[in-house]
Amino acid sequence: MYNQILKAKPYVIMLKKMDYWYWCRYFIDLYRICNYKCSYCETIESRGVKGLHTVPGLPDKKESIGLGLFSDIYSPNPVENKVVQSLLNFLYEKGYPISINTKSEYILNDIDIIKEFAKRDMIRVTITLLTLDPELSQELEGQKLKPRKRIEALKVLTDEGIPTGVSITPVIPMVNDERESLEKLITVVKKNGAKWILFSGYNPTKEFLLNPKWEKVKLLHKNSNELNLRYKKAKSIILSAVFKENLPIRIPRINLNKNTNGYLLNRITEYLYNISYLYELLDHKLEALRFRRATYAINEIDTPIKALIIQNKLGYIKGINPKIEAIIKEIAVNDGSSYYEKLLKKLKMEY
């Protein structure tokens, strides 16, 4: 059964630090270079320089495995996608939760096994969608990826009860950051069942800036004030629209095995990182950094977190100040954080 997987020689990639967007340290890539070759794609250039390295296998611990972050696991050639099904079956049988990121409607071919993951709350699917405009999509993503198909896939997945969200990544200034198109995109994906919206800016590749078609983007990147203003505006448009639709801006972390140390640790790091993200959106860079460092520190400790809380030893961990310590203790008791809720309310009031 796994011959196909072996034939495809999947690359298991381990990050130095967890990816706090998809909540994974390990990713599986089926292709060295993604089949779609989108004109703006950052991952082809950044491969190998962001602390990525391949490792011989998956972790013993059944932590979430990311699929499709560095190259889409679905090929435009459906025949090649049989290997994806074998891979999903393999991961399901071994008990690994998964977080899939894709632009391909071919994910629907695997709906049966995906439903099995969902029954055990072991899956998150994120569909990347930059625009609803088919012409702009074709310019950025080529002919094989159609926004309409992705919207249809989103609807089927959510109708089947699969937790699925959308990533508007990247938001490229002067390309897909117009108010009307962003607002329409968010309304349409909400209507079709999106459970979260992610978004982020763009660090243009050399190739993209050299393309005469995107001369205006190149010129904008020479004026950092203008560029920042443009990003601020896009952020404001997205956040207002997302909050209006009552959608989360983060992927809910898969967290199995309630009442274990691992569960509590995951909840704490999820809240701390989400607080850091809210501070980032509120432009409180220093506070964002503080919470991010605290998240990293908590993730590094070997002692069970519960023991540290009971023994009042959290303060000994570098980066855990009294405020963060109080937040952690509240999460341990209530499985929630009033600090996070207040901060989210503040952000919503600003947008």
Nearest approach, Cβ of residue 37 and ligand SF4 (Å): 5
Determine the interface stretch with ligand SF4 among 32-40, 213-221, 235-243, 322-330 (rule: CB under 6 A). 32-40
Q: Does 117 bind ligand SF4 (CB under 6 A)?
A: no
SS (H, E, C) the chain: CCHHHHHHCCEEEEEEEEECCCCEEEEEECCCCCCCCCCCCCHHHHCCCCCCEEECCCCCCCCCEEECCCCCCCCCCHHHHHHHHHHHHHHHHHCCCEEEEECCHHHHHHHHHHHHHHHCCCEEEEEECCCCCHHHHHHHHCCCCCHHHHHHHHHHHHHCCCCEEEEECCCCCCCCCCHHHHHHHHHHHHHCCCCCEEECCCCCCHHHHHCHHHHHHHHHCCCHHHHHHHHHHHHHHHHHHHHHCCCCCCCCCCCCCCCCHHHHHHHHHHHHHHHHHHHHHCCCHHHHHHHHHHHHHHHHCCCCHHHHHHCCCHHHCCCCCHHHHHHHHHHHHHCCCHHHHHHHHHHHHHC
Q: Output 37 or 50, the one with its CB closest to ligand SF4.
A: 37
Q: Does 37 bind ligand SF4 (CB under 6 A)?
A: yes
Binding residue for ligand SF4 (CB under 6 A) from 41, 118, 234, 288? 41
Q: Output 67 or 324, the one with its CB closest to ligand SF4.
A: 67
Determine the interface stretch with ligand SF4 among 29-37, 106-114, 230-238, 298-306 (rule: CB under 6 A). 29-37
Nearest approach, Cβ of residue 241 and ligand SF4 (Å): 23
Write the binding mask 60 to 89 for ligand SF4: x where contact by CB under 6 A, - elsewhere. Answer: -----------xx-----------------
Binding residue for ligand SF4 (CB under 6 A) from 36, 96, 196, 291? 36
Q: Under rule CB under 6 A, how many of the chain's residues touch ligand SF4?
A: 9
Q: Does 103 bind ligand SF4 (CB under 6 A)?
A: yes
Note the residues at the interface with ligand SF4 (CB under 6 A): 34, 36-38, 41, 43, 71-72, 103
